[in-house]
Every structure is written in C-alpha cells, then in structure tokens.
Amino acid sequence: MTEKQKMLAGLAYSGRDAELVNDRQEAKVMCHRFNLADPRDSQARMAILAERVQFSGDAHMEPSFYCDYGYNIVLGANFYSNHNLTILDVCKVTIGENAFIGPNVMISAASHPIDPVERLHGEDGAPVWIGDNVWLGGNVAVLPGVRIGHNCVIGAGSVVTRDIPDNSVAVGNPCRVVREITPSEPSAAMASG
C-alpha cells in the first residue's frame, strides 16, 4: 500500500511521504487563495474550495478556512461555517445537511500514537461523521473517530471525544449529553422547499 492509501484507511502512515507533502501543499495554496479572495464575491470564493472540497452549491464558509487535504471533506446542502474553521482531513470528514459551525471550530480526523517512540515514525487517523441539522458552537473541538448524530447541538468550547447520539444537547470537556431534543414538525414551507 502507498502511504496515501494507508492514511485513507486509517492505518499508520508517514506524513513525510512526497505524495502527501505535495497534496498538503496544494491544499494550503487553495486555502490561501480562498482566505484572500474578495469577501464580497462568495461565489468566487466557494469556487476555489470546490477544487478540492465536495459540497452542494448552497454551502457557505466565512474566511479563514484551513484543511490538510480538502479531498476528504464532504459537506451537505445548506452548510454554513463562521470564521476560522480548521478541518484536519487525513481520513474522511462528512458533515450533513443544514449544519451550522460556529467560529474557531476544529474538526480533526488526525491522530498520533501515544507512545513517544512510535510518534516519531508515523501518524494515523479515523473518520469523523457529523449528521444533519447539527450546530457546533464556537471553539468546539471534534476529535478523530467521533460520530455526532442528527439534530445535535454541541455547546461552545466543548471537546467531543466520543460519539453523541441523535437529538442531543452536549457540552463540556469531555463533551457529555445534558439533555435530549424533541424536534418540532417542519413547517409546510420547509417541507416543500
């Protein structure tokens, strides 16, 4: 397997591999162009992201945005993120429809071994999945391998270290469910549109 194939599979890999170094540099160039693009021209900014990030036409991101690769990010319809979103996408990061991301959020599929000797020789990761209708408050950190269910609210400053079930409000470090949400029926306008 190539180092890239190992990375995408969540196995230990070398981030110093030439192909991965090149891919990260290309992603940095894309992010740089996006972050410096005219803030009045949202379509042009989002077209820059479309070079690597998969999303529907109605996604919107405020600058600044940073990622490792970009090609491992999938954003659902009606996605919105505020300033300073960072996604470390060594594995797939999937975010569902109608997601709202507060400022200064970090979503990381990247990890490193706990053993200091192993850490010198490689890294690994695990996919992150975030469901539909999720709101991540400002300064939230989502760690590798986490699954956040549909209709969840993650409180500002939370560190999500484990899965959060559907219809939950969760807060804290580590993030814990504090209450359940009972979604209301969608209005006729929402259902038709």
Q: What CA–CA distance (Å, rounded) separates 134 from 132?
A: 6
pLDDT reading at 66 higher than 50 = yes
Q: What CA–CA distance (Å, rounded) separates 68 from 84?
A: 14
> Per residue in 20-55, is it b (16+ CB within 10 Å) or e — as a string?
beebbeebeebbeebbebeeeeeeebbebbeebbeb
- pLDDT at position 186: 55
**Arithmetic mean of pLDDT over the chain:** 94
Predicted confidence (pLDDT) per residue in 10-30, tens digit? 999 999 999 999 999 999 999
Q: What CA–CA distance (Å, rounded) separates 42 from 171?
A: 32
Residue 24, both tokens: 């990260």
Q: What CA–CA distance (Å, rounded) separates 103 from 85?
A: 7
Predicted confidence (pLDDT) per residue in 99-144, tens digit? 999 999 999 999 999 999 988 889 999 999 999 999 999 999 999 9
- pLDDT at position 193: 37
- pLDDT at position 189: 39
Task: List the one residue out of 71, 82, 23 whose CA is nearest residue 49.
Answer: 71
**Helices (DSSP H) in 88-128: which residue ranges?**
116-119
Task: Using pLDDT thresholds of 50, 70 and 90, give the confidence band for residue 6.
Answer: very high
**Helices (DSSP H) in the chain: which residue ranges?**
3-8, 18-36, 42-49, 116-119, 188-192
Mean pLDDT within 82-93? 98
Task: List the one residue out of 88, 50, 38 whose CA is nearest residue 66.
Answer: 88
Give kind and range of the element (H or E) at residue 110.
Answer: strand 110-111
112: annotated active-site residue = yes
**Helix, strand, or coil (residue 124):** strand
**Helix, strand, or coil (residue 78):** coil
Contact 143, 161 (CB under 8 A): yes
- pLDDT at position 184: 80
When comparing pLDDT for 120 and 2, which is higher? 2
Predicted confidence (pLDDT) per residue in 167-190, tens digit? 999 999 999 999 999 978 554 334
Size of the chain, expressed as the number of residues it contains: 193
Which residue out of 32, 112, 121, 150 is catalytically annotated?
112
